[in-house]
Amino acid sequence: MRRIRIFLLSAAILAACAGKGSPPDPAASAPAREGEVIVFAAASLTEPFRELAVLFEQEHPGAKVIFNFGASSILRTQILQGAPADLFASADEKNMEEVARAGRVAEGPWIFATNRLVIVVPASNPGGVAALADLTRPGLRLALPGPEAPIGAYAREVLARAARDPAYGPDFAERVLRNVASSEPNVKAALARVALGEADAAFVYRTDVTPAYREKVRVVEIPDSLNVIARYPIALLKEAPHPVAARAFVDLLRSPRGQAVMQRWGFGAP
């Protein structure tokens, strides 16, 4: 009987210790990376972000990435008007700073990529554009978003730099802007206008000339001394519907795998 009592007491002590010290169930304690991650992203990010979404959804079967692509200025306005979103990825820092000043950024922003500008013309090049200086040619049809869109602001910065160069002349920017025939909502729309032959030239990001467009347009380089470097920030927004999954998407984007995807589509390192 004494041995039985000792055995039962020992078993009770072991059971109590096991209950207090047993590790939690990982499935029960892991943060949920599921639901629809809503990403407001610059139009120039369309191709690499869609590829990243496929990778992300494979790694997180309960999650789905929903994109709203457009000009960063339009996305900024939508966010400030209360549109629900988890992440904002801008093609410039100016629009991101405005979202941050309004108190809508919860974490970040983080710079995750860079880009450069080129000029595109139709494959047949009816305007005879071979260099930046040719954009002043009378009658040329230039497709260019307004200065509120990052590509429009970057293009005007290029023109302003050229105007400070005696080789182009102080009125260079003014003469080029007189040729703006259509003010497009974003860079993809400007590129499409040129590919369809409805415009003679447009400023776009180098990464916009994807395989789908390489036989439809020609690239005219901008001198490095006049070009700009576009910096892309991303931030987690306040009141994000799925912040845990959104953070996981940012982690993938900034990881070596994510950066490899960005660079495969022509983007530069942060």
Q: How far is CA 82 from CA 76, 105, 248, in A?
A: 10, 13, 23
Q: Which of 26-35, 43-52, 78-87, 102-111 has the lowest mean pLDDT?
A: 26-35
Rounded to two decimals, the pTM is 0.84
CA 190/CA 212 separation, integer angstroms: 15
Q: Are residues 60 and 191 both part of a single domain?
A: no
Domain that holds residue 121: 115-229
Q: Are residues 250 and 222 both part of a single domain?
A: no
Q: What is the mean pLDDT of residues 235-260?
A: 97
Q: Are residues 80 and 179 both part of a single domain?
A: no
Q: Are residues 73 and 172 both part of a single domain?
A: no
Q: Are residues 141 and 219 both part of a single domain?
A: yes
Q: Are residues 171 and 108 both part of a single domain?
A: no
Check which CATH number belongs to the domain holding 139 and give it.
Answer: 3.40.190.10
Tell me the residue ranges of DSSP E strands in 20-130: 35-42, 63-70, 87-89, 105-122
In a domain, 91, yes or no: yes
Q: Are residues 119 and 206 both part of a single domain?
A: yes
How would residue 3 be classed by pLDDT, with cut points 50, 70 and 90?
Answer: low
Tell me the residue ranges of DSSP E strands in 43-191: 63-70, 87-89, 105-122, 142-143, 180-182
Q: Within 13 Å and on the Cβ side, how many CA atoms surround 182?
A: 19
Residue closest to 239 by CA, chosen among 30, 76, 41, 79: 79
How would residue 35 be classed by pLDDT, with cut points 50, 70 and 90?
Answer: confident
Per-residue model confidence as pLDDT tens digits over 199-245: 999 999 999 999 999 999 999 999 999 999 999 999 999 999 999 99
Domain count of the fold of the chain = 2
In a domain, 153, yes or no: yes
Q: Are residues 223 and 122 both part of a single domain?
A: yes
